[in-house]
Chains A and B, each alone.
Chain A
Amino acid sequence: MTSTTAPEDAYAGSWTGAVRGFLARSLPLEHLLPVRQPYYIGSWVYMFGAITIAALVWVFLSGAVLAFFGPQWWHVSGIGHFLNSVHFWSVQMFFVFMVLHLWGQYFAAGWRDGRAPTWMIGVVIFLVSIVTAFTGYLSQQNFDAQWIAVNAKDAINATGAGAFFDVLNFGQMYGLHIMLFPVLVITLVAVHVVQVRMRGIVKPIERRAE
């Protein structure tokens, strides 16, 4: 039996139908998984965002292993040292290429043509990533982490955040670093990528007529 009503009509009046219609309109599969890209994608500047996500994958994978085995492992074993270094250096790559991606989008005015929410989510990702990395430095379980915590506490207290964000509380910093902030960063990055796919890559700024 074949239906004669359009899918959106069939679900008229239901919120699931409204959501389904919105997703079908705003995020068709040809936008979500395009097979061809415009010519202006042929620039390495457009690679920076993808490289940032690649670094984030390494951050997540190495961090998952570190969280599983714990500091008694990553400070004393050879493979623990290696995974610890992979985690550290992939974070460095994540930030380097995120900043290059930011530069690229700034000079391309990536917020044009309705892409302001994409830009704003990117800014939020940047800020959350900084806090995530900060809690990571505090979670190293070495003298460096203690030095950072003791020196940072006054600055954090001066902002008023010290009442609920205690850098001397290792359990709190470690919990935030391996649970709340990673979920936040990865979710926001997923939203950011979907936003990019909804509107496509921003076109280059056209030259003024001579």
Chain B
Amino acid sequence: MDAPASYFHWGVILISIPNLLLIIGMVILFLVAAVARVGSHDNEDL
């Protein structure tokens, strides 16, 4: 944990691997949340 992070460097893009993984995880979580339903559909009349 105390060692410096590795970096992804592509052109003007420079980002640490942990930050890149976090952003990828957030995008995946967002897409899953946008597709998945929660609970029952009892209130569709509202």
By a CB distance below 8 angstroms, the chain A residues around B36 are 43-44
Instruction: Give the Cβ gap from B21 to chain A, nearest Cβ, in Å.
Output: 12
Query: Closest residue to A44 on the B side, CB-wise?
Result: B33
How many inter-chain residue pairs (CB < 8 Å) link A and B? 45
Q: Which A residues are in CB contact (< 8 Å) with B34?
A: 43-45, 104
Is B4 among interface residues, defined by CB-CB distance under 8 A?
A: no
Q: Which residues of B contact A42 (CB under 8 A)?
A: 37-41, 43
Residue numbers of B with Cβ under 8 A of A are 22, 26, 29-30, 32-34, 36-41, 43-46
Q: Knowing that A42-B41, A104-B33 touch, tell me 6 more A-B residue pairs with CB under 8 angstroms.
A: A38-B46, A43-B38, A44-B34, A45-B30, A47-B38, A100-B30
A-B contacts, 12 of them at CB < 8 A, read: A38-B43, A39-B41, A39-B43, A42-B41, A43-B33, A43-B37, A44-B34, A44-B36, A45-B30, A45-B34, A48-B33, A104-B34
Chain A: residues with CB nearer than 8 A to chain B? 36-39, 41-45, 47-48, 96, 99-100, 103-104
